[in-house]
């Protein structure tokens, strides 16, 4: 029974991730950025400024992948890199004015989207959904073995 339930959980999460990913891609593309750039812009916008290492860790990406994403965002005029005045090895990444507009557009679009999803859940079940998602996130964070094993195989 436990095996069947975990298989069902796997399937539900797979479908949820796929459905959210497709919808987020459509919304992100209308803002003129890729999905990975979208995630980077949102994290930079929410932080105000962040280092490449911090951003890579937040997005669970390796530094080289994150660096390529940031290079593209710099070329597009959406982010800037600034050397830290006291530690020249530390580079701060910040949004430009153009990047801030894209960030606000993404945030507003995602806010409307998730409000619509939340409002589609019956009112008496909303708290249950939020509690369940918190529990699921905690469980995922405790059991990250699959990601680490997969990356070690590369």
Domain that holds residue 65: 2-120
Question: pLDDT, tens digit, for every residue of 75-103?
Answer: 999 999 988 777 777 889 999 999 999 99
Q: Which two tokens stand for residue 6?
A: 């975990």
d(CA 77, CA 80): 7
Q: Whats the size of the chain, residue-wise? A: 154
> Is the overall model pTM greater than 0.85, yes or no?
no
Classify residue 154 as exposed, middle or buried by CB count within 10 Å of its CB (0-12, 13-18, 19+).
Answer: exposed
Residue 51 belongs to some domain of the structure: yes
Q: H or E segment at 54?
A: helix 52-58
Please indicate, yes or no, if residue 139 is contained in any of the structural domains: no
Among the residue ranges 14-23, 50-59, 128-137, the one predicted with the least confidence is 14-23
Asked whether residue 93 is assigned to any structural domain, the reply reads: yes
Residue 129 counted as domain residue: no
Q: Is the pLDDT of residue 149 over 90?
A: no
Number of domains in the chain: 1
Q: Do 28 and 106 meet the contact criterion of CB atoms below 8 Å apart?
A: yes
Is 90 exceeded by the pLDDT of residue 8? no
80 - beta bridge partners? 94
Environment class of 59 (CB within 10 Å of its CB; exposed 0-12, middle 13-18, buried 19+): middle
The rounded distance, in Å, linking the Cα atoms of 24 and 117 is 13
CATH code, domain carrying 54: 1.10.10.10
In a domain, 50, yes or no: yes
């Amino acid at each position: 029974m436990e095996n069947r339930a975990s298989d069902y959980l796997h399937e539900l999460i797979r479908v949820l991730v796929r459905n959210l990913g497709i919808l987020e891609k459509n919304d992100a593309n209308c803002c003129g950025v890729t999905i990975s750039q979208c995630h980077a812009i949102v994290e930079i916008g929410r932080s105000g400024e962040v280092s490449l290492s911090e951003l890579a860790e937040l997005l669970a990406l390796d530094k080289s992948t994150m660096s390529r994403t940031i290079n593209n965002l710099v070329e597009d005029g959406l982010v800037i890199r600034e050397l830290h005045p006291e530690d020249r090895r530390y580079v701060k990444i910040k949004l430009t004015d153009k990047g801030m507009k894209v960030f606000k557009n993404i945030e507003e679009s995602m806010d409307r989207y998730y409000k619509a999803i939340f409002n589609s859940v019956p009112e008496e079940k909303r708290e249950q959904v939020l509690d369940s998602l918190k529990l699921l996130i905690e469980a995922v964070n405790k059991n990250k073995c699959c990601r680490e094993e997969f990356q070690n195989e590369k």
